[in-house]
Structure 1
């Protein structure tokens, strides 16, 4: 969401691929896809997210993160260091 939302057609598959959602689905005896769809519907229904320009976006007022602040490698891409 901090990158200007997520395309509406990709949200369910994105959520279904997250470990926390698949764990929650297993605990609730639900299919990950069903839990993802319910989560999206609930967030839309509650007003937590909005669908605008084909993208799901956070509804809360916020200050957008500058794009250059997000151009940082994930920790798994950081170089390894040798002990001294």
Structure 2
């Protein structure tokens, strides 16, 4: 959501693809889809997220991150560090 929100119709497929959601659902004895539904519904009810222009955005005050700032490699791409 720090990348100017996420399309509202893509949030549940995004959540379904997260390993942590499947793990949490298993621990709570829920289907991952049910947990994703409840998570999104609870965030909307509480006002933690809002839908603007068809995109889900965090409702908390924040400073947008400049798009170029996020163009960094993921840690698995970082060069190795030689042990001392």
Normalising by structure 1, we get a TM-score of 0.91
Query: In structure 1, how many angstroms separate the alpha carbons of the residues matched to 2:8 and 2:75?
Result: 28
The offset of 1:82, in angstroms, is 5.7
Q: How many residues align?
A: 84
1:1-84 to 2 correspondence within 5 Å? 1-80=1-80
- CA-based RMSD of the aligned residues comes to 1.4
Query: In structure 2, how many angstroms separate the alpha carbons of the residues matched to 1:50 and 1:62?
Result: 14
The offset of 1:20, in angstroms, is 1.3
The offset of 1:27, in angstroms, is 0.7
Query: In structure 1, how many angstroms separate the alpha carbons of the residues matched to 2:78 and 2:32?
Result: 31
- The alignment partner of 1:12 has SS state of helix
The offset of 1:21, in angstroms, is 1.0
When structure 1 is superposed on structure 2, of 60-69 and 74-83 the one drifting more is 74-83
Could you list the runs of 5+ residues in structure 2 that have no partner in the other structure? Answer: none
